[in-house]
């Protein structure tokens, strides 16, 4: 039944995509016929779709499968993030920004009640903090386990037996690689010196510490402002004594854990850009920019703005897309970046 629904959904999306392509008047070219005549002044922006094109199971859906159906980490991700499970794994990094404040409050309220903290004769600070710790256990599991499980999965991805399938790539070009894998080096012989692994590389080098793998969302929301309970939603909040207890639990539990969660899963983009500013400045001389396998999610817009800023929109963009969602992202992207008609073309991968 699920396969039938997926097939029907795909068919609907293909029809909508065909209509959009017909009405948008965006220049579309055949991926296989693209040429790179000036590799020394070409920049390639590589996203996860590039690895997938080579048969590597590297989507966030693939990561979800490695967690298993009974994984407590997967359970907490799918229940403590305020987003539909399908959307969660489709755009996982952005999904990490959607913390479900309502569920966290309900769970805190429940455990304070279960530990009898609300009772007038139950003044034990030990019970209060035990309730807070129990309520915040899901957040602890996510913040402590996710980075470890994610890195373990990334390190397990292999290009063994895979063959090159993109004839545009050249050792002379520059590469902004959003992937954590080093398949550009393994499959195409691109020198490490020509690649900027903007979010870190999983490479293991003897006598050198592992690079940090940056996973997360942009810091565009102050989640701490969300934790002001509505008395209509939290019955305990109507009672002055219970309200004081819940306020304390929110301050010492929820707020502190959310702040820690945000520190772990926020991309400190300005710092990353600052650390890599020389690379972005090199975009001034680029004549062609190829975007392959990148979904153009808003979480990575700051990096593209740097490219546009230093290049002053002199380059011609060749932007890849895979399906309907990607195509819509392309249209939004060129508008946001100020890339004019005639300065870009699209191709389907």
Q: Where in the chain is the domain with CATH 3.40.50?
A: 27-58+162-218+268-349
Q: What is the pTM of this model?
A: 0.88
- Whole-number pLDDT of residue 121: 59
**CB contact at 8 A, 13 and 146:** no
Look at residue 1 in the predicted model and tell me its pLDDT: 42
Q: Are 76 and 138 in contact (CB under 8 A)?
A: yes
pLDDT in tens, 117-166: 988 655 688 899 999 999 999 999 999 999 999 999 999 999 998 999 99
Which pLDDT band, with edges at 50, 70 and 90, does 2 fall under?
Answer: very low
Return the H-helix or E-strand segment holding 349. Answer: none
C-alpha distance from residue 183 to each of 153, 164, 330 (Å): 15, 10, 25
The whole-number pLDDT of residue 222 equals 54
**Domain at 27-58+162-218+268-349, CATH class:** alpha beta
Q: What is the mean pLDDT of residues 327-333?
A: 95
User: What is the torsional sign of CA 213, 215, 218, 221?
Assistant: negative
């Amino acid at each position: 039944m699920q396969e039938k629904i997926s097939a029907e959904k795909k068919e609907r999306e293909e029809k909508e995509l065909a209509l959009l392509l017909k009405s948008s008047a965006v220049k579309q070219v055949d991926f296989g016929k693209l040429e790179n005549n000036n590799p020394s002044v070409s920049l390639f922006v590589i996203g996860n779709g590039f690895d997938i094109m080579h048969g590597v199971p590297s989507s966030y859906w693939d990561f979800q499968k490695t967690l298993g159906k009974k994984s407590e980490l997967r359970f907490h991700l799918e229940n403590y993030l305020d987003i539909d499970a399908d959307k969660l794994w489709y755009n996982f990094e952005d999904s990490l920004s959607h913390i479900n404040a309502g569920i966290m409050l309900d769970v805190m309220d429940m455990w304070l009640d279960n530990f009898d903290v609300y009772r007038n004769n139950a003044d034990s600070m030990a019970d209060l903090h035990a309730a807070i710790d129990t309520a915040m256990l899901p957040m602890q599991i996510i913040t402590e386990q996710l980075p470890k499980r994610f890195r373990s999965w990334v390190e397990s991805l292999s290009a063994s037996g895979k063959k090159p399938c993109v004839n545009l790539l050249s050792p002379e070009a520059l590469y902004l690689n959003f992937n954590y894998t080093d398949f550009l080096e393994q499959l195409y012989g691109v020198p490490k010196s020509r690649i900027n692994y903007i979010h870190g590389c999983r490479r293991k080098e003897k006598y050198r510490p592992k690079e940090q793998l940056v996973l997360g969302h942009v810091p565009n929301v102050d989640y701490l402002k969300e934790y002001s309970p509505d008395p209509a939603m939290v019955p305990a909040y109507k009672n002055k004594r219970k309200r004081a207890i819940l306020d304390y639990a929110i301050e010492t539990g929820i707020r502190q854990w959310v702040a820690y969660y945000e520190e772990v899963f926020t991309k400190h983009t300005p710092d990353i850009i600052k650390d890599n500013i020389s690379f972005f400045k090199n975009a001034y001389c680029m004549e062609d920019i190829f975007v392959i396998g990148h979904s153009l999610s808003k979480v990575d817009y700051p990096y593209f703005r740097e490219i546009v800023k230093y290049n002053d929109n002199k380059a011609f963009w060749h932007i890849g897309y895979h399906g309907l969602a990607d195509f819509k992202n392309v249209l939004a992207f060129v508008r946001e970046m100020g890339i004019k008609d005639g300065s870009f073309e699209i191709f389907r991968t």
